[in-house]
């Protein structure tokens, strides 16, 4: 039984997460001929303040990026 684990920064919609689960499930079915019912997908969402690279959290990186102007 394939187990696919994904960790993402939180903030995606339920529809996006659902599409991700469907796509990953189908990829496992196609790649290893697993039955759909045997595929397990775990999605973990992490706050932007709890994910860092290069000693900078994603929240900090987002805060220092210039804001896009709206028309």
| pLDDT by position in tens, the chain (length 71) | 999 999 999 999 999 999 999 999 999 999 999 999 999 999 999 999 999 999 999 999 999 988 765 55
Of the CATH numbers 3.30.429.10, 1.10.800.10, 3.40.50.720, 3.40.190.10, which one belongs to the domain with range 3-64? Answer: 3.30.429.10
Asked if 47 is an active-site residue, the reply is: no
- Does the reported pTM lie above 0.85? no
Backbone angles phi, psi at 27, to 5 degrees: -60, -40
Q: Quick one: pLDDT at residue 66?
A: 80
Backbone angles phi, psi at 28, to 5 degrees: -65, -40
Q: Residue 29, CB half-sphere, CA atoms under 13 Å: how many?
A: 11
Q: Where are the strands (E) in the chain, listed by range?
A: 3-9, 40-46, 52-53, 56-57
Q: Quick one: pLDDT at residue 4?
A: 98
For the chain, the residue count is 71
């Amino acid at each position: 039984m394939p187990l696919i684990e994904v960790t993402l920064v939180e903030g995606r919609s339920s529809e996006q997460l659902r599409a991700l689960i469907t796509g990953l499930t189908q990829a496992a079915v196609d790649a290893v001929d697993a039955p759909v019912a045997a595929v397990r997908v775990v999605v973990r969402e992490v706050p932007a303040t709890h994910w860092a690279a290069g000693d900078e959290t994603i929240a900090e990186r987002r805060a220092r990026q210039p804001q896009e102007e709206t028309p």
